[in-house]
C-alpha cells in the first residue's frame, strides 16, 4: 500500500503524592487533549497499606487489557472488520528474588492475552484485526522492547540523574 507517512506524538504526564501509609494520589494529564484524571494506588494490609485503592499492578493490568481492546475496536472501523462484542482475558506474571533481608529484585515472567471477538468476519480478517491492534497498542509496543527509564532526584543543589 502506498500513502503519505504521518507521525504523531502522545505525551502523558503524571504527578503522585504519598498520602496514606502506602496510598498514592496521582493526577494524570493528557495535555494535548486538555484531559486530566484523578487516580490512586494503595496496598492491602498485608503490604502495610489500607486497601483504599488498587495496587499499581492492577492499574497496569487494566491498562494493558484496555489498550488492546481499544485498538481492536478503533481499527475494526478503519479496516471494516465488524466486531459486535469483545472480551479480553489476561494473565501477567512476575517474579521477585530476595537475598537475605535485602530489598528484592523483580523481573517479568510472561504476559498472555486471550481475545474473544463476536464477529461475522472470517477468521483471517479477525487475525488481521488482532495483528493491527497489537502493533497499534502503545502499551504492547512498549513491552516489546527494552526501554530506558530515566530518573532524577531532587537535591538542594537541584535535580541529579540517578
Candidates 50, 52, 116, 121; binder of a second copy (CB under 8 A) is: 116
In whole angstroms, the minimum distance from the beta carbon of 52 to a second copy comes to: 12
Instruction: Give the nearest distance from C-beta 122 to a second copy in angstroms.
Output: 10
Number of residues that bind a second copy (CB under 8 A): 123
- Minimum Å gap between C-beta 63 and a second copy is 4
Determine if 114 is a binding residue for a second copy (CB under 8 A). Answer: yes
All three cell numbers of 53, joined, read: 485503592
In 3D space, the residue among 143, 131, 126 whose CA is nearest the CA of residue 61 turns out to be: 143
SS3 42: coil
Nearest distance in Å: CB 102, a second copy: 6
**Using the rule CB under 8 A, which residue among 111, 121, 125, 158 binds a second copy?**
111
Q: How far apart are CA 105 and CA 107, in angstroms?
A: 7
Q: What single DSSP character describes residue 104? A: P
CA atoms 58, 62, 67, 68: torsion sign:
positive
The DSSP H or E segment spanning 64 is: helix 56-79
Site for a second copy in 42-101 (CB under 8 A): 43-44, 46-48, 51, 54-67, 69-71, 73-75, 77-79, 83, 85-101
Amino acid at each position: 500500500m502506498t500513502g503519505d507517512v504521518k507521525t504523531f506524538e502522545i505525551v502523558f504526564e503524571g504527578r503522585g503524592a504519598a498520602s496514606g501509609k502506602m496510598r498514592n494520589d496521582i493526577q494524570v494529564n493528557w495535555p494535548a487533549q486538555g484531559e486530566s484524571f484523578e487516580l490512586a494506588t494503595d496496598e492491602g494490609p498485608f503490604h502495610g497499606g489500607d486497601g483504599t485503592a488498587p495496587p499499581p499492578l492492577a492499574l497496569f493490568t487494566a491498562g494493558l487489557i484496555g489498550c488492546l481492546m481499544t485498538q481492536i475496536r478503533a481499527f475494526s472501523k478503519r479496516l471494516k472488520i465488524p466486531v459486535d462484542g469483545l472480551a479480553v482475558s489476561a494473565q501477567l506474571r512476575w517474579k521477585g528474588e530476595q537475598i537475605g533481608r535485602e530489598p528484592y529484585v523483580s523481573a517479568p515472567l510472561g504476559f498472555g492475552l486471550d481475545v474473544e471477538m463476536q464477529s461475522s468476519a472470517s477468521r483471517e480478517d479477525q487475525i488481521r484485526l488482532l495483528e493491527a491492534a497489537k502493533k497499534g497498542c502503545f502499551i504492547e509496543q512498549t513491552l516489546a522492547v527494552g526501554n530506558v527509564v530515566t530518573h532524577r532526584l531532587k537535591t538542594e543543589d537541584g535535580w541529579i540523574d540517578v
